[in-house]
Structure 1
Amino acid sequence: MESSYLDYVAQACMDLTEATAAASNEADRDSLITNHIKKVSAVVPPVEDFKKNLEWVNVSEPISLSQHCSEKIVVLDFWTYCCINCYHVLPDLAHLEKIHKPHSGLVVIGVHCAKFNNEKNSDNIKSAVQRYGIHHPVVNDADSSMWEALGIRCWPTLLILGPANKPLFVITGEGHKDKLVWYVEAALRHFGLRISAAPLPISLNAHVKATNNEILYFPSKVALNPFYRGRGEEPFLAISDTGNHRVVLTDCSGIVLRIIGGTEPGFKDGKLSEALFNSPQGICWLTSTVLVVCDTNNHALRTIHIDEGSVEVLVGTGEQARVGDSGGKCLGLQALSSPWDVLLYSTPDLDMSVRPLLPPPPAPTGSGQTAPDTDSEEKENVKRRVVLVACAGSHQIWALFLDNTLWWKYKSYPEGTCICIAGSGAEAARNSAYPHTAAFAQPSGLALRLGTSPELFIADSESSSIRRMMLSTGQVSTLCGGDRNPLNLFAFGDVDGIGVDAKLQHPLAVAYCESNKKLYIADSYNHKIKKVDIGPQKVTTLNPTMIETTDPAKFAEPSGLCLSLDGKYLYIADTNNHCIKILNLAKNVCQEFRVRLADPTFIEPDNLILYKNDLFVNKKCGNLIIYFNVSLESDFKRVKFTPGAPQNWHLCVRDEHNRDVTTEEFEFVGCSHKGTKLPGRVELKLRNRTDKTHYRLYLSFHTALCEAGVCFAHAFTVRSNILVRDSVKIVESYKITCKVNPMNRMDPDQSKLRM
């Protein structure tokens, strides 16, 4: 079919839109739509069928328009899975399929026409279909043959066909749910008896979980708890388990502490066990127990209060914001459009009329901070907390002011105000000294660089570039990738280089390391992690190896990054591999952060100290030597170890299933796994070469203490990970020293000695 015929249909649809907008009632509107159907179907020829040998998803055999659909109403959804606007249409199609079951004669077919090279791969399309719960047939039109034959010009485009596969309506863009329903219902009524109820060869593909991780399903973002102190059940890592519509909190070894949300999508506040999310993405910690979550498909920010055991809406109404909504409302009254990432920024100003919306984060224990003595000192130390949000759906950067804040150009924003601070709303890569005239293209990842001139780095996914915004003025510029032409959103590739000469492909996350002044990029569709030297804007690809195998690390659309506080480790949400990986930046080696449920039959001991450094043992029957000692904190000078009394210690090793393997899989060389004297030393050796990669070591102490003639016992346990690798020395040695006090405040000295 010549594309000119489709142009005719498109123009007729534009005329119909104007006419129906002026219709005074439903009957007049339906009459106008029916007359349109009669006029168009009388003059246009049928569309050509799909090419042979195309790959399909959700069917048992390829669909033929002429064979399967000639007596049906067909909605062809031309989409590409990188496109946020295409995702906004999916709920409309799901609504249509819900009210018109298959026997009604309606068929929805997704025609996937890729923008990026990575999206031409059918396995990647299948992953997107699974991730977003698409249940209608999808065809991979990898060469865009039908797109070109019909003269389709943009994503998304909906083409509605009548019997004999004649085009009746063309709908471009998002936000046309009512129009879509009107057109389909009018076509079903008009053609009536000509419509066939014969079933199609639908066969939904099972949503395949990761083979070696049954917990995570398309994890998208990760956030380390910056307030983490390593005590008790304090969360260490938060993970957006996007495919399961939930947030997972783990300890430092990957044991799941809490799961918030269900495996089905929803929009529900309340108890942690009852709350529901819909494809959550970005997450950040406001305090050690309060998380903000981008509840993306609910177009909202939600807060998780761990201590209170509740979830509540922070910003958003549950409905997508209208185009052109620049904000200004408070909290739950302000609509958003697909918030994709979020972070917390603290900015100084001189406005002292502060009534915090949320409690400020606590000062680190033992930091030595004291209350300011004067009003002037107080003013200098006051920080205003601002939550910065990448709204991918509106192509903008928004801000939620948690405190009364004096912002750019001395504009004052009351606490609770949520407003667009950058981006015109147009989809482009336009730089500007004026933030509201700049333009972004689906911003999907955020990172902060603090200092005298703080700035925000933005993974601008659809322009395949990394943008930067000065947080003192709002000026927007390009760091690397993309093109000098702000309207060219097809300047993608996989090229290391300087500035715009470097090429990326749909990056989704960034993380900035202050210690080495480098920015790390999840170059998602190139399945790579890259770094940028900020000064020269030089982009380099990292090529890490896996610790377990020494093979090159293989990522699959990684979309989340976060750095450890010391800048040594990069945590990666390896989305299509359904796992979290840890990259040792100094050694350029990678390992999986195994997320798993704790053994319900094993209860960890009280007074647990988490030793953050991993212990390594060579998998080829390597030896592990541990020197350990206990000392008392200087604040308790009157407390002494009881002379002559035994200072008991006991070592236990458990495998990844929490099974005690202390003597079964380890041999203690010249010593026992328990003793009565300090300092102590144990040397353990793997009995046999093992395929296991992870053990957990528990070093428990039961000490005897005295104070002023009164004796008492004090017990605690140090826990650490033993990682089994073939890349470490045959003999590895470590030193663990714990400073304790009888008030149960424990702080392990985590110095490590390699022999």
Structure 2
Amino acid sequence: MESSSLDFVAQSCMDLTEAMNAASNEAERDSLITNHIKKVSLSVGPIEDFKKNLEWVNVSEPISLSNHCTDKIVVLDFWTYCCINCYHVLPDLAHLEKLHKVEDGLVVIGVHCAKFSNEKETSNILSAVQRYNIHHPVVNDANSTYWDALGIRCWPTLLILGPGSKPIFVLTGEGHRDELVWYVGAALRHFGTRISNSSLATIIAPAKHVMAKEEETLSFPSKVALNPFYRGRAEEPFLAVSDTGHHRILLTDCSGLILRIIGGNTPGFKDGKFHEAQFNSPQGLCWLSSNVLAVCDTNNHALRAIHLDDGSVEVLAGNGQQSVHGDLGGKCLGMQPLSSPWDVLLYTTPDMDMSVRPLLPPPPAPPGPASDKDKDGNEETKDKEKDKKDEKRRVLLIACAGSHQIWALFLDNTIWWKYKSHTEGTCVCIVGSGAEAARNSAYPTTAAFAQPSGLALRSGSSPEVFIADSESSSIRRLALSTGQVSTLCGGDRNPLNLFAFGDVDDIGVEAKLQHPLGVAYCESNKTLYIADTYNHKIKKVDVGLQKVTTLNPTLIESPDPVTFNEPSGLAVSIDGKYLYIADTNNHSIKLLNLVKNVCQDFKVRLPDPKFIEPENLILYKNDLFVNRKCGNLIIYFNVSLDSDTRNVKFTPGAPQNWHVCVRDENNKDVTLDDFEFVGSSHKGNKLPGRVEMKLKQRTDKTHYRLYLSFHTSLCDASVCFSHSFTIRSTILVRDSVKMVESYKITCKVNPVNRTDKTESK
């Protein structure tokens, strides 16, 4: 089919939309849609089939329109996974698929046509499909040959096919849920006798092999935020992590141990206590105080607040619905919708009006007396003019990727640019026209962004915000004193060129990036760090010179280079020595030592379950010894019945199982971490038994606790029963003992009087 035929369908759809807007009732609307289907079905031929050499996701075999879909209604979604507008279409497609199953005659197929070179890799598409919970088939049109053949011009485009692969509807852009439901429903009714209930379900298989492994704590972590109020206390959170794939926020200590989990694995939009609150693909994070964390709840188009003092979550802005195009805001808190907020930061500016109670607790006051008293004992205000000047009003700046703008939530009554007054709780667009471009301007409302996705603040006398403008592959800067927007590095001088991407270290616009999603600024070394996401790199910018340089760290344990996979979030320590990296597609957080240029995993993990010593514990009074230099420890052990148990016998043929556990001074199970079991298994053996353990490497530990647990089967004259007990001993680690130490332990079992005891040789 020639692209001109698709143009005919597109024009007919535009005429249909205009006529439907004038329709007076539902019956008239349905009649218009049916007449449209009849007209275009007679006027156009079938589109061409997919090429046979394309790679597919979510299917067990490639799909053919002519073989699998000739008797189906097919929705082709032309998309690319960098595109925020394409993300906005996914809930509409999911809604459509709930209404009409494959067995009903509807097939949705994603046709992925890459914008960036990184997106051409099927493995990266696999990750995106998993991250965004896409279950329908997706074909990788890596070189856009299918796109070109059909004359598709923009992302997203939805092409609806009738039986025989004839195009009947074309929808471009986002926001067409109602039309999708109307058009597909009408097509299924109109072609009812030609629609077959033969199912494609047998070959549709959602991809699982790019998911985080079950034992991994994180799933597609996107953003990280160091707690600037951290004072080193064990119970205080040190790092906040958006565990995006699990729809939750994790708060960890400085070692990565999880202190709090907020939200859960199921996406939703719910306030309340930590265990009942729900998020949907959270992204950006910002600490407002030591007890309040702001979260970009991206797929809920909302900004949420996590309150650690009472363990609750509440909405700061947004109502769960995406704002309409052209909405410039002005409503208060939860009444003002947003569009895919991706990152957030806190900015404080002078001349705050404190006549109204603050929405959130103000930053902690500096130490020292709050006020002085005069000679009569009355409170005295010192230098009121100075106090007024030093007051700060707090503004939350929000990168709304979906509307290509920067918004602000005013936490206090604030006089903003051009002396415009905003009352506490007001949420409004402050920069960006809403057009998708990379247009710089001295006037904030005429500037334009292309999917801003990361924010970093540079404070001082001339404060500014650095913005990761992902679709223009550039870093933009916003002067907070004037609202002027300019380019720091990357992109192109032509504001409409959103394809000026690459991997080039240079100065200003001569440097090239590829879809950066994260930035972090360090005041101490005047350096901006960039998560150059689609180049799988971390870069830094000397802000004064606008010079871009790639960091090439090695692993801390070897000279091998670190391999990132679409890193998207950064947080830098105040001293500029460490950079925390959300390594998204590797499902991990990395810690980069910027001084030594070495990198290691920051192991985010749940605390080990509290160890409770087993019941019926027998203390073996003699210590065991092992040589510090990889010595061997051999234990021979047996279980016999005490002389007082004349009527009790071991059950013939029943197993007498034993198990070994070794714990260190921190009560951590190190059975397999520190010891190698030589010559025999350490569980499941019948008695008598033998276990030989060898230290894997020289250790500085001085002692361990050994637990030998037994489970025996016994019988008396009338009944059979089981008996369990555990022998506990101490293993001392020394330099002076033999390289091979051996011990014999016999336990006398008395289940009747519960007087089990041990003997040694």
Fold agreement, TM-score > 0.5: yes
Deviation sequence 1:482-528 (CA, Å, 0-9, x none): 00000000000000001000000000000001111110000000000
**Amino acid corresponding to residue 404 of structure 2 in structure 1:** H
Match of 2:359 among 353, 357, 360: 357
**Amino acid corresponding to residue 323 of structure 2 in structure 1:** A
Query: Quick one: structure 1 residues 413 and 138, their matched pair in 2 at CA, closer, same or farther if it must change by over 3 Å?
Result: same
Matches within 5 A, 1:546-625: 546-602=555-611
Counterpart of 2:645 in structure 1 is: none
Deviation sequence 1:557-597 (CA, Å, 0-9, x none): 00000111222100000000000001111111111100111
Counterpart of 2:135 in structure 1 is: 135
Counterpart of 1:495 in structure 2 is: 504
Q: 1:398 Cα deviation (Å)?
A: 0.3
**Amino acid corresponding to residue 410 of structure 1 in structure 2:** Y
Are 2:682 and 1:658 equivalent residues in the alignment? no
State the alpha-carbon separation in 2 of the partners of residues 285 and 175 from structure 1.
33
Counterpart of 2:9 in structure 1 is: 9
Deviation sequence 1:316-336 (CA, Å, 0-9, x none): 010000000000000000000
State the alpha-carbon separation in 1 of the partners of residues 702 and 6 from structure 2.
65
In 2, are the aligned partners of 1:363 and 1:369 still within 8 Å (CA)? Answer: no
Match of 2:223 among 221, 224, 239: 221
Give secondary structure in 2 for the equivalent of 1:583: strand
In 2, are the aligned partners of 1:112 and 1:140 still within 8 Å (CA)? Answer: yes
In 2, are the aligned partners of 1:653 and 1:696 still within 8 Å (CA)? Answer: no
Counterpart of 1:460 in structure 2 is: 469
State the alpha-carbon separation in 1 of the partners of residues 479 and 536 from structure 2.
29
Counterpart of 2:289 in structure 1 is: 287
Counterpart of 2:197 in structure 1 is: 197
Unpaired runs of at least 5, structure 1:
604-618, 622-651, 666-685, 698-755
State the alpha-carbon separation in 2 of the partners of residues 368 and 128 from structure 1.
52
In 2, are the aligned partners of 1:269 and 1:313 still within 8 Å (CA)? Answer: yes
Query: Quick one: structure 1 residues 695 and 536, their matched pair in 2 at CA, closer, same or farther if it must change by over 3 Å?
Result: farther
Deviation sequence 1:248-299 (CA, Å, 0-9, x none): 1111111111111110111111110001100000011111111110000000
**Amino acid corresponding to residue 659 of structure 1 in structure 2:** D
Matches within 5 A, 1:466-545: 466-545=475-554
State the alpha-carbon separation in 2 of the partners of residues 664 and 398 from structure 1.
53
Give secondary structure in 2 for the equivalent of 1:378: helix
In 2, are the aligned partners of 1:355 and 1:404 still within 8 Å (CA)? Answer: no
Q: 1:687 Cα deviation (Å)?
A: 6.8
Counterpart of 1:109 in structure 2 is: 109
In 2, are the aligned partners of 1:326 and 1:420 still within 8 Å (CA)? Answer: yes
Q: 1:211 Cα deviation (Å)?
A: 4.8
Counterpart of 1:182 in structure 2 is: 182
**Amino acid corresponding to residue 600 of structure 2 in structure 1:** Q
Give secondary structure in 2 for the equivalent of 1:529: strand
- Share of identical aligned residues, percent? 76
Give secondary structure in 1 for the equivalent of 2:223: strand
State the alpha-carbon separation in 2 of the partners of residues 36 and 179 from structure 1.
13
Q: 1:354 Cα deviation (Å)?
A: 4.3
In 2, are the aligned partners of 1:598 and 1:658 still within 8 Å (CA)? Answer: no
State the alpha-carbon separation in 2 of the partners of residues 660 and 497 from structure 1.
49
Range that drifts further, 565-574 or 71-80: 565-574
State the alpha-carbon separation in 1 of the partners of residues 518 and 292 from structure 2.
22
Q: 1:222 Cα deviation (Å)?
A: 0.2
Q: 1:233 Cα deviation (Å)?
A: 1.4
State the alpha-carbon separation in 1 of the partners of residues 385 and 664 from structure 2.
55
How many residue pairs end up in the alignment? 629
In 1, are the aligned partners of 2:451 and 2:471 still within 8 Å (CA)? Answer: yes
Counterpart of 2:623 in structure 1 is: none
Are 2:227 and 1:238 equivalent residues in the alignment? no
Counterpart of 2:446 in structure 1 is: 437
Give secondary structure in 2 for the equivalent of 1:559: strand
Counterpart of 1:382 in structure 2 is: 391
State the alpha-carbon separation in 2 of the partners of residues 47 and 455 from structure 1.
51
In 1, are the aligned partners of 2:318 and 2:337 still within 8 Å (CA)? Answer: yes
Q: 1:307 Cα deviation (Å)?
A: 1.5
Give secondary structure in 2 for the equivalent of 1:377: helix
Counterpart of 2:33 in structure 1 is: 33
Q: 1:208 Cα deviation (Å)?
A: 4.2
Counterpart of 2:429 in structure 1 is: 420
Query: Quick one: structure 1 residues 654 and 216, their matched pair in 2 at CA, closer, same or farther if it must change by over 3 Å?
Result: farther
In 2, are the aligned partners of 1:654 and 1:660 still within 8 Å (CA)? Answer: no
Deviation sequence 1:30-66 (CA, Å, 0-9, x none): 0000000000010101000001121101101000000
Give secondary structure in 2 for the equivalent of 1:497: coil
State the alpha-carbon separation in 1 of the partners of residues 165 and 34 from structure 2.
17
**Amino acid corresponding to residue 116 of structure 1 in structure 2:** F
State the alpha-carbon separation in 2 of the partners of residues 298 and 208 from structure 1.
25
Q: 1:548 Cα deviation (Å)?
A: 1.9
In 1, are the aligned partners of 2:234 and 2:253 still within 8 Å (CA)? Answer: no
State the alpha-carbon separation in 2 of the partners of residues 53 and 620 from structure 1.
58
**Amino acid corresponding to residue 19 of structure 2 in structure 1:** A
In 1, are the aligned partners of 2:269 and 2:279 still within 8 Å (CA)? Answer: yes
State the alpha-carbon separation in 2 of the partners of residues 399 and 91 from structure 1.
26
**Amino acid corresponding to residue 300 of structure 1 in structure 2:** A
Counterpart of 1:147 in structure 2 is: 147
In 2, are the aligned partners of 1:349 and 1:383 still within 8 Å (CA)? Answer: yes
State the alpha-carbon separation in 2 of the partners of residues 93 and 350 from structure 1.
46
Match of 2:402 among 382, 393, 402: 393
Deviation sequence 1:618-653 (CA, Å, 0-9, x none): x999xxxxxxxxxxxxxxxxxxxxxxxxxxxxxx96
State the alpha-carbon separation in 2 of the partners of residues 53 and 504 from structure 1.
31
Counterpart of 2:42 in structure 1 is: 42
In 1, are the aligned partners of 2:49 and 2:64 still within 8 Å (CA)? Answer: yes
**Amino acid corresponding to residue 507 of structure 2 in structure 1:** I
Query: Quick one: structure 1 residues 434 and 369, their matched pair in 2 at CA, closer, same or farther if it must change by over 3 Å?
Result: farther
In 2, are the aligned partners of 1:395 and 1:423 still within 8 Å (CA)? Answer: yes
**Amino acid corresponding to residue 72 of structure 2 in structure 1:** K
Give secondary structure in 2 for the equivalent of 1:167: strand
Give TM-score scaled by structure 2 length: 0.80
In 1, are the aligned partners of 2:354 and 2:412 still within 8 Å (CA)? Answer: no
Counterpart of 1:635 in structure 2 is: none
Q: 1:176 Cα deviation (Å)?
A: 0.7
Match of 1:409 among 393, 401, 418: 418
Are 2:76 and 1:51 equivalent residues in the alignment? no
In 2, are the aligned partners of 1:130 and 1:207 still within 8 Å (CA)? Answer: no
Counterpart of 1:274 in structure 2 is: 276
Query: Quick one: structure 1 residues 192 and 346, their matched pair in 2 at CA, closer, same or farther if it must change by over 3 Å?
Result: same
Range that drifts further, 100-109 or 209-218: 209-218
**Amino acid corresponding to residue 287 of structure 1 in structure 2:** S
Q: 1:229 Cα deviation (Å)?
A: 1.0
